[in-house]
Amino acid sequence: MNLGKRRLFLSSNSVYKNLKYLEHTVNEMSEFLVDVSKILFIPFAAVAEKENLNKRWAEYNEAPKKAFADFNIEVESVHIFDDKKQAIKNAEAIFIGGGNTHHLLYWLRDFELIETIHNEMKNGKPMMGSSAGTNIFCPTICTTNDMPIISNPTFDAINAIPFQINPHYLDPDPKSDHRGETRQQRIEEFLKVNNRKVLGLREGAWLQVENNKILLRGLTGARLFTQENEPQEFMPTEEGLDMTEILLD
């Protein structure tokens, strides 16, 4: 598969340990954005009662706004636009925030924005996601950790990459006697009914897609699950670990 003009920044999480919102990654995000002066933020993963959604989404926009203020990059939320499709077409760059992936998909579908985002993405508009916002760039949301609090007729998502990401990937706690499935067991269940690679992206790690390459970057690593092979561990290098071949083959 050729990634063409795609430019993606897909982060496992928004808050790393005790750091501030995006603090662990905002430098690299700003470098990735190059000459962008304004980001269009998609806040639909933030959950609220229907009558409070606009208020909640307005509040949520404050977090990335603050994080990018030091870089002279404005952040405006898509929910304030009557014509949201046009807002996406007009945007210099898009950032989809974290929260509940099912809720995010529900509102993206309700506003009929999936296809528009997909098309802009294919044409090279820089797109960033974290957590649920990273999940939504996968072919489906089938590797989310989130509770299915709202139903969608399909789990099909933006489909910017041909593999799945599991954000907030978590190793099992060897001292726990809790008997719910481990994250690895859940991903192995996914692989029994879906033939598609899953990259478990630990908190602190992200993928950068540009120049037809996929680089693993950040403070931690990733674990790759496939139908054919045992899980494999990957750690980023300073420049980013080139995972293009292994993820696209």
Q: Which residues bind a second copy (CB under 8 A)?
A: 13-18, 47-50, 100, 102-103, 140-155, 168, 170, 173, 177-181, 186-187, 189-190, 192-194, 203
- Least Å distance, CB 61 to a second copy, is 18
Cβ neighbours for 88, distance < 8 A, ≥ 6 positions apart: 40, 78, 94, 113, 116, 117, 120
| CB neighbourhood size of 21 (10 A) | 18
Residues 84, 104: Cα–Cα separation, whole Å: 15
**Which active-site residues does the annotation give?**
131, 146, 168
- Closest to a second copy by CB, 73 vs 187, is 187
- Least Å distance, CB 5 to a second copy, is 30
- Closest to a second copy by CB, 154 vs 229, is 154
- Closest to a second copy by CB, 50 vs 174, is 50
**Whose structure tokens read 């996601």?**
129
- Least Å distance, CB 35 to a second copy, is 31
- Which residue, 42, 20, 227, is CA-closest to 134? 42
- Closest to a second copy by CB, 72 vs 151, is 151
- Least Å distance, CB 179 to a second copy, is 5
Angle value at C-alpha 221, between 215 and 223, nearest 5 degrees: 95
Q: Counting Cβ atoms within 10 Å, is residue 122 exposed (0-12), middle (13-18) or buried (19+)?
A: middle
